[in-house]
Amino acid sequence: MQLKEIDKSRYSKHLKIVFAGIAIVLLAITLAASTIIIQLFGTEGDSHFWFNLAGVVIAAATVVFVLTKLRHHPFMFEVAYVWDLKQILNKIYRKQKKIEEAMLKKKQHDAMIIMNFQYRGSKQLYELDDNTITMVELNSKIKQLDKRMLAAGLSLSTDAFDAGMLDKF
């Protein structure tokens, strides 16, 4: 995955629309499916918990199916990109201790490249979500890593990152 420039206002607008759409569709399909299932299989006086749960499952499956099909639509570009970025950053985070150890103690180039992607990807996410609480600390880590990478003769670009690098850790 490569980091891409994202228009913050467009991302925010599309994210709100997508989440509102998900909520409306979940509500409508859950109510409709539950009502139909209760009418077909329910008996008066019995608990309809399982029928209502079935309606929720049908609605959730429908939403997942539709989002999967619409994932590559231009309207979903920013939302899908951020979703993918969060997934890859989560994978890096789960292996971060081993990666940082390899970067600091063994000075492995792949570890530096992975951490460079993680720091710069996190910075992009923080800026998109207006999460500036830890930005000072993150910028400090970026500066320290930049010095290490330049000393090792590595490019500061995130283009060298490949998710397959994580398999080493």
User: Could you tell me the residue ranges of all domains in the chain?
Assistant: 8-78, 95-168
Average pLDDT over residues 7-26: 96
pLDDT of residue 123: 96
Q: Is the pLDDT of residue 18 over 90?
A: yes
Number of Cβ within 10 Å of residue 6's Cβ equals 19
Identify which of 6, 169, 168, 167 has the alpha carbon closest to the alpha carbon of residue 84. 6
Number of Cβ within 10 Å of residue 56's Cβ equals 14
pLDDT of residue 42: 86
Average pLDDT over residues 42-46: 84
Cα dist. 68→21, 51, 62, 150 in Å? 14, 26, 10, 41
pLDDT tens per residue, range 98-114: 999 998 888 889 999 99
Q: Is the pLDDT of residue 46 over 90?
A: no
pLDDT tens per residue, range 131-153: 888 899 999 999 999 999 999 89
Buried b (16+ CB within 10 A) or exposed e, 106-129: eebbbbbbbbbbbbbbbbbeeebe
Determine what percent of the chain is predicted with pLDDT higher than 90: 84
Q: Output the average pLDDT for the chain.
A: 94
Q: Is the pLDDT of residue 119 over 90?
A: yes
Instruction: Measure the CA angle with vertex 88, ends 1 and 152; round to 5°.
Output: 70
Cα dist. 103→79, 138, 145, 160 in Å? 32, 17, 9, 16
pTM: 0.84
